[in-house]
A and B are shown apart, each in its own frame.
Chain A
C-alpha cells in the first residue's frame, strides 16, 4: 500500500517536474512545480520524515512558490515575451542530454548497487522527530544554525537594497 503510494507520487513528481521544464508560460511552470513539491512531500512522509514533509509544504509551496507567483504577476510577462518553450537550436542538445541521462539511469538500474530498504519499520513519530531535530540543530550544528540565520539577514538586506535602488532611480527620472 505505502509502496504503491510511493511509486505513484514519485511518478507524479517526475512528470510535473518535466512540466516545469516544458511548459510554455511561466505560470504553468510554477503550478507544475507546486504539484511536483506536493508529490515530493508525500515521498518524504512515506520515507519517515514528517517534519520535513511539513516544512516542504510550508516553506516551499507556501513561501518560495508564492514569491515566484508574485514576481510573475508583477512583471506581466505575457506582454513582455511569450516566455517561449525551448528554442529550436537547443532542442537537439536537450534531446541528447535526455538520452545521456536515460542511458546513465538505465546503467545505474542495471548495476543496481543493492541499497536495500532499512530493516524494520521506522521509529513511530518519524525519523526527524522534533526533539531529536532540535537537539541536533542546537547541539552539534549550532554554528551552522547561526550562520543560516545570518545568511537570511544578509539576504533580506540585499533584497531591500536591490529593490530600493531601482525605485529611487526611476523616481528621480520622473
Chain B
C-alpha cells in the first residue's frame, strides 16, 4: 500500500481531536471514557505509522508495534478501573453525569 506516512498521521490527528472533543464536551462519564479510548487509538496509530515508516522489506522495526501492544494493555486497564468507578459512582448518586461529581471542588 503506497499511502504516505503523513496520511496515517492525519487520520491519527483527526481521531485524537475527536477524542478531545468528546472528552471536553460530553457530560456522560461513560462517553468520556469512550473518548479516552479514541485518543489511545490515535496514539496507537501514530506508533504504528512510525513503525511502518522505519521498516524496510528486509529489516522490520517492530518497536512501534510492541509499544502499541502496551498501549492496548493500558487501555484495557483504564477501561476496567474507570467503569468500576462509574458503577460505584452510580450506586452512590444514581447518575453518571460529570456535573454530579464535585467532591474535590476546592
Closest B residue to A155 by beta carbon equals B77
Chain B residues near A156: list those with CB within 8 A. Answer: 80
Instruction: Report how far A56 CA is from B68 CA in the complex, Å.
Output: 10
Q: Could you tell me the dominant secondary structure of chain B's interface residues?
A: helix
User: How many of chain A's residues have a CB under 8 angstroms from any CB in B?
Assistant: 90
Does A174 make an interface contact (CB < 8 A)? Answer: no
Residues of B within 8 A of A (CB): 1-11, 13-15, 17-22, 24-28, 30-31, 33-35, 37-38, 41, 44-45, 48-49, 51-53, 55-58, 60-63, 65-66, 68-70, 72-77, 79-81, 83-88, 90-92, 94-97
Closest B residue to A144 by beta carbon equals B70
Whether B60 pairs with A123 at a CB distance below 8 angstroms is: yes
Whether B91 pairs with A51 at a CB distance below 8 angstroms is: no
Whether B18 pairs with A21 at a CB distance below 8 angstroms is: yes
Whether B81 pairs with A40 at a CB distance below 8 angstroms is: no
Q: Could you tell me the dominant secondary structure of chain A's interface residues?
A: helix
A88: shortest Cβ distance to chain B, in Å? 11
Whether B34 pairs with A163 at a CB distance below 8 angstroms is: no
Closest A residue to B61 by beta carbon equals A127
Whether B73 pairs with A152 at a CB distance below 8 angstroms is: yes
Whether A3 pairs with B1 at a CB distance below 8 angstroms is: yes
Residues of A within 8 A of B (CB): 2-3, 6-7, 10, 13-14, 17-18, 20-21, 23, 26, 29-30, 33, 36-37, 40, 43-44, 46-49, 51-52, 55-56, 59-60, 63-64, 67-68, 71-72, 74-75, 77, 80-81, 83-84, 86-87, 90-91, 93-94, 97-98, 101, 104-105, 108-109, 112-123, 127-129, 132-133, 136-137, 141, 144, 148, 151-152, 155-156, 158-159, 162-163, 165-166, 170
Instruction: Report how far A33 CA is from B34 CA in the complex, Å.
Output: 8
Whether A55 pairs with B69 at a CB distance below 8 angstroms is: yes
Whether A148 pairs with B70 at a CB distance below 8 angstroms is: yes
Whether A63 pairs with B76 at a CB distance below 8 angstroms is: yes
Whether A59 pairs with B72 at a CB distance below 8 angstroms is: yes
Q: Among the listed B20, B62, B75, which residue makes an inter-chain contact with A64, where contact means beta carbons less than 8 Å apart?
A: B75
* Contact sample, A vs B, 5 pairs, CB 8 Å cutoff: A17-B15, A80-B90, A90-B24, A133-B69, A159-B84
Whether B11 pairs with A115 at a CB distance below 8 angstroms is: no
Whether B31 pairs with A128 at a CB distance below 8 angstroms is: no
Whether B17 pairs with A101 at a CB distance below 8 angstroms is: yes
Q: A51-B65, A59-B76, A159-B80 are in contact. Are A127 and B1 (CB under 8 A)?
A: no
Instruction: Report how far A121 CA is from B57 CA in the complex, Å.
Output: 7
Chain A residues near B60: list those with CB within 8 A. Answer: 123, 127-129, 132
A103: shortest Cβ distance to chain B, in Å? 11
